[in-house]
Amino acid sequence: MTRYVTKLPRTVDGPEGKPIRPEAAENQRLMAEILNNPSSWTPELAEFTAQVFDAMAESWVDERGGYRAAPLIDALDRGGPFPFGRCLEIGSGTGILTPYLQEVWNDVVCIDLSMNMILRGRVGCRVQADASMLPFPDASFEAIVICDAPLFVGETLRVLASSGSLIWSNALGTGAPYHLPAGDIWDAVVGTTPESEWSAVQSDALWGSWVVFHRSEVPSP
């Protein structure tokens, strides 16, 4: 299938002072492996990841809250239109980004692997869960938002409605530990759902990047 990914010009400049994450390159390698082979996400890796984010929960807002919203806000502003219905936020953390989702969707369900992150959130319906095994029925959500979290493409698309939207955002763009190139995500998404048609739009904002995938059913012959 031809890639229908439209690149929009940047409208939010990225100033000097972008944070550097030394672990980004190695973690991006792991994210690419998970994208192509979800079984590489082991129980041991899940437990380790939960412990890492449990330890960061107390300082999460103060240390990272200031810049995380810009790419998502831009995606919500220019990446639509979005379908009405329920929204699932994967990797919601302490809920920094949830209020922006609630401006678009009335029903927002937030999941995170870290219980400490979940307990610090005050908005949305909050659930501790592993995104590799989502505790929801098929086609439960009209929108799924993943901001700097692993992408388990098969499980994510299982719970996405047949005319739903997937929003992917990285707060530090190519310097983000969870960054994946839009083209790689496109190939995984399309390869996983031959029964669907897709289009996508992407751009950059502040220090980050985003891409929105819109799904529709293939018309019957």
Q: What is the pLDDT of residues 194-203, one digit of tens each?
A: 889 999 999 9
* 22-217 to CATH, choices 2.40.30.170, 3.40.50.150, 3.30.420.40, 3.40.50.1860: 3.40.50.150
Give residue-wise pLDDT tens across range 68-119.
Answer: 899 999 999 999 999 999 999 999 988 999 999 999 999 999 999 999 999 9
pLDDT over 90 percentage in the chain: 77
CA pair distance 197, 107, nearest whole angstrom: 26
Q: State the first-to-last Cα distance of the chain, in angstroms, to the nearest integer.
A: 17
Handedness of CA 217, 218, 219, 220 (dihedral sign): negative
Residue 218, pLDDT score:
66
Q: What is the CA radius of gyration of the chain?
A: 16
Q: What is the pTM of this model?
A: 0.93
Instruction: Using alpha carbons, select from 180, 179, 214 the residue that is nearest to residue 200.
Output: 214
Handedness of CA 46, 51, 55, 57 (dihedral sign): positive
Give residue-wise pLDDT tens across range 117-147.
Answer: 999 877 778 999 999 999 999 999 999 999 9
Give residue-wise pLDDT tens across range 162-202.
Answer: 999 999 999 999 999 999 999 999 999 999 998 899 999 99
Instruction: Using alpha carbons, select from 159, 54, 148 the residue that is nearest to residue 109.
Output: 159
